[in-house]
Structure 1
Amino acid sequence: MTGDAMVEDGGRPAIASPVVVTGSGALRGTDDGRVAVWRGVRYAQPPVGDRRWRAPVPAVAPDGVVDATRFGHAAPQPVNTVIPLGDGVTADEDCLFLNVWRPSRAAARPRPVMVWVHGGAYTFGAASQSVYDGTALAEAGDAVIVTVNYRLGALGFLDLGAERDGEADTNVALRDVLLALSWVRDNIAGFGGDPEHVTVFGESAGGGLVTALLATPSAAGLFQRAIVQSSPATSMYGRRRAAAVTARFAEAAGVAASDLAALRALSPEAVVAAASAVYEEVPREHPGTLAFAPVVDGDLLPEHPIAVLSSGRGHPVPLVIGTNRDEATMFRFMKSALLPIDAASIERMFQAMREESPHVVAPDRERVLSAYRGLRRGVVGLGIARDIAFRMPTVWLAAGHGAVAPTWLYRFDHSTPLLRLAGIGAAHAAEVPYAWGTVAEAPRAIYRLGGRRSAERVSRRMVERWAAFANGGAPGEDWPPYRAPERQTLVIDSEDRVVADLDGPLRAGWGDSVLSFS
């Protein structure tokens, strides 16, 4: 049910204030004539107090009309000036909000829905970031766009579910996203969206969560299509590794890991501080691993998603999946330990994989290096880090999932002249503003040597592809599905092109056996 009112705002032209009645209450948004937007929609009750580290509880509709014109709180997280949360947005443990965009123009039928899960190493980010403004995507795709907050870091991924007799739950961040998708199913029709025509998409950690959803039994039916951008698909771990992270966190917080009441009594600031220490320590001591990520708990997430999906046992929904050409460069530029780039760290990572998975035939070192023949010595580490963290898991996943559902594989190669000159290129997350149609909001500095018009053209094509896919078709008539033996892959650049078996040399070097930590 939707109604509209007209309001004056400080002498500016009147705008519509559409009201939609949902399970979260009657929500008043804004409509500027291009898109109607509802911000800060509560989909779950505040996950605070005894609800910390528990599965989210659906929101209760309040009396009266709720103002939905401002973004809700972001999840507590370390301060990061590189990732602004949005104008006026603050962090708070009461963070389970979502946002909805829809075109202002009337529609002859319910619109397809696209639900975004943001990235940020499972520790940073928010649905309110300006790069995720849904205006362009909603208009180009004639779609309803939803962006979702979920709990981050220790508050979202700390494994306190083991032997707690129901007092804590595993994978609460993944459960947050599941509840948000349930909210979409139950309420999106009121916004003109089609609850049986939902595409879930995400990048980096968000892509990892979408990967997990594809292997989560209880996610069946909540979405009908998926887009996975730069997923760290193998960076999810079992209960043993999760328990070690929990012990580290408790020690950093000065609380016994067994004392759930004391853990819940910690301030959000204390939780973030302890989690930040663990976030930095774990990849330095154990290269190639993250402190916080979805846990293969044998319950909500019964098996490792990469094992499920590479063997063709995931939810059989059409999938677009890919990575960027230069995924690792930004990690080196920021001196981040999240990716092992130097030779010693890479060797330690491979040794740990061999010890943890003796049943998997690890690729021969020389065979792997042969895939990088001709590259400068300093670039080889970047290539190996990129491929073990992102590209090869994506290729393994695409090959398996393509056997059960149409699957399209891409590689994003585009970058501006300045970024190429700086050795950054098409780095991790570089494709995000292109897919959202928000490249005009990028810092002016990256266009200092030109490239803005080319970026805008690439962005228009990418938005059109994502929108066509969400509308039930292929992501472009020129892009064939990925299947053997051709293994056609779209290279997204100033001029898009389809390449047969683009990753052939990498597959020859790495092999087809999935490598991951347990």
Structure 2
Amino acid sequence: MDEAEREGTPREVTARCAAGAFAGTSDDGVRLFAGIRYAQAPVGDARWRDPRPVSPAEGIVDATRFGAVAPQQVNKAMDLGPDPVMSEDCLFLNVWTPDHADGQALPVMVWVHGGAYTFGAGSQPLYDARRLVASGDVVVVTINYRIGGLGFLDLSGFGTAGHVFDGNLALKDVIAALEWVRANIDGFGGDPGRVTAFGESAGAGLVTTLLATPRAEGLIHGVIAESSPVSSVYGRERSQRVADRFLSILGEHEPGRLRDVPAERIVDAAARVFAEIPAVDPGTIAFSPIVDGDLVPEPPVTVLAEGRGLPVPLLIGTNKDEASFFRFMKSPLLPISDEQIDRMFADLKVEDPLLTLPEMEQVRAAYEDTRHRAIGLGIARDVGFRMPTLWAVEGHARVAPTYLYRFDHATPFLRMVGLGATHGSELPYVWGSVEGATKGPVFRLGGRHAAQRISHRVMRRWTAFAHGAAPDAPDAVSWPAFDSDRRATLVIDGVDRVVDDLDATLRAGWGDEVLAFR
């Protein structure tokens, strides 16, 4: 990597790798190479087909602007930045690296964004990696992948010899990005032999699925999963029902015409399916990775619970009040009412008669100290996030170092409005964005200094893990690896603490049977 002789800030810098030469910028000790294409544009005949590698670029490629984000509906909870450009041509990544990375081999952290498999981008302002790079001495890569109907719809059963459709496209996009990283990151000062894939929500679901994907072996050397819906990965029968409903809404079943439909119509039809599926089948979602028997041979939650995942270190956890966000946003994604929860359990019994389900009285006993109107929130949180995480941890700890956390911190304002440590609330702490100007009312009632101290610890723990060490931070409690004797959990709050068997009551209520939706 060599720096252009140019005065002023930001300065121009150039990185050279197998994929070509890229001109980025350096500002305050951190370099950014934005909008690098890692796969060919998935447009025209390439829509709903596997990602295709790109040829090495000729000349010096401008990497000073983020690439287009995947087509999606506007979501007030998802800040895509000022005037985002949306396009199916969205397979871009961004590399953030410290100025001193020349000739080094720093650990690499590859971020897979969340957004219910339907929203978001790697270029969201929240994912500005400058503070994470500077505090942890790491290289950070943020990626885009296809989402919603263009990334998670499985049309493979509707194709013909002349019109072939592939499946698991978003997961394959993530793998293609990781392959690009393995081949090229050394040109940016990164170590291709020490890559940690990390993500939140849907992004965490993708990285935990990677642990059950044989093709990912050698591409990842660690995983950090924040609020992963580990068990929300479905089989072909369900994915085909979703695809059939999508085509009915779209009003188009002719394979030869599907690639001519404007992307906006696909996004709109997918949005309707996104809302309908959890209403019809509580506890399930329309779009997610697919157990296709090939790329993903088995349900990831089953593979992980049985200790058969890729044997790489895992740092994983959830937030204390995950479900409050979904209630606040009036989202259909989690079953919260008594009626929805009862229907979810009834559907599970119909789909898998051999499944040993706990009785509802047994489950509700785990929440006997919870106010009645909050029991649904607790069950929704635990069926969607906490219990699948616990099942995965119990098995994966047998094959690799595994660290379990629960994020409990909430600012006074978030506590006052009843959100607490809700879904996604750990993100500003992971990315250090509590340091700068923060949009919204989060700190209206104070709490910024406490948040900054917590953020410093979280960033140090996450990057220590990426370096291959225990996820510890200076002047904070040490975080022991999970084992079946202690079941140690790090509770992240104003003062971090380690609690043995934090989830004993939940485990007793839900039992040991892994609930893998089909």
Using the size of structure 1 for normalisation, the TM-score is: 0.97
Deviation at 1:107, TM superposition (A): 6.2
Count residues in correspondence: 511
TM alignment of 1:21-40, pairs within 5 A: 21-40=16-35
Deviation at 1:444, TM superposition (A): 4.6
Name the counterpart of 2:467: 471
**Partners of 2:10 and 2:81 in 1: how far apart?**
22
Determine if contact 1:24/1:41 at 8 Å carries over to the other structure.
Answer: no
Structure 1 residues without counterparts, runs of 5 or longer: none
Name the counterpart of 1:55: 50
Determine if contact 2:154/2:166 at 8 Å carries over to the other structure.
Answer: yes
**Partners of 1:109 and 1:27 in 2: how far apart?**
18
Deviation at 1:260, TM superposition (A): 2.0
**Partners of 1:243 and 1:118 in 2: how far apart?**
25
Letter in 2 for 1:288: G
Letter in 1 for 2:452: E
TM alignment of 1:272-351, pairs within 5 A: 272-351=267-346
Instruction: Give the RMSD, CA atoms, in angstroms.
Output: 1.3
Q: Does 1:177 align with 2:174?
A: yes
Q: Does 1:388 align with 2:383?
A: yes
1:294–1:326 CA distance, 2 compared to 1 (3 A): same
Determine if contact 2:229/2:385 at 8 Å carries over to the other structure.
Answer: yes
Name the counterpart of 1:190: 187
Which runs of structure 1 show a deviation greater than 4 angstroms over 4 or more consecutive aligned residues? none
**Partners of 2:101 and 2:209 in 1: how far apart?**
35
Aligned residue among 444, 447, 455 for 2:443: 447
TM alignment of 1:417-456, pairs within 5 A: 417-439=412-434, 440-456=436-452
Letter in 2 for 1:100: V
Name the counterpart of 1:499: 499
Determine if contact 1:6/1:14 at 8 Å carries over to the other structure.
Answer: no
**Partners of 2:237 and 2:134 in 1: how far apart?**
46
Q: Does 1:217 align with 2:210?
A: no
Determine if contact 1:26/1:66 at 8 Å carries over to the other structure.
Answer: yes
Deviation at 1:163, TM superposition (A): 6.5
Secondary structure at the aligned position of 1:75 is classed as coil
Q: Deviations over 1:118-165 (max 9, x none)?
A: 000000000010111110111111110000100000100111123745
Deviation at 1:106, TM superposition (A): 4.8
Q: Deviations over 1:283-305 (max 9, x none)?
A: 11111111111010111111110
Aligned residue among 68, 72, 76 for 1:77: 72
Bigger mean CA offset, 432-441 vs 103-112: 103-112
Name the counterpart of 1:138: 133
Secondary structure at the aligned position of 1:265 is classed as coil
Determine if contact 1:53/1:172 at 8 Å carries over to the other structure.
Answer: yes
**Partners of 2:353 and 2:344 in 1: how far apart?**
14
Bigger mean CA offset, 264-273 vs 158-167: 158-167
Using the size of structure 2 for normalisation, the TM-score is: 0.97
Letter in 2 for 1:59: V
Name the counterpart of 1:410: 405
Structure 2 residues without counterparts, runs of 5 or longer: none
Letter in 2 for 1:456: Q
State percent identity of aligned pairs.
54
Q: Deviations over 1:219-240 (max 9, x none)?
A: 0000101101100111110001
Determine if contact 1:113/1:146 at 8 Å carries over to the other structure.
Answer: yes
Name the counterpart of 2:5: 6
Letter in 1 for 2:2: G
Q: Does 1:460 align with 2:459?
A: no
Name the counterpart of 1:120: 115
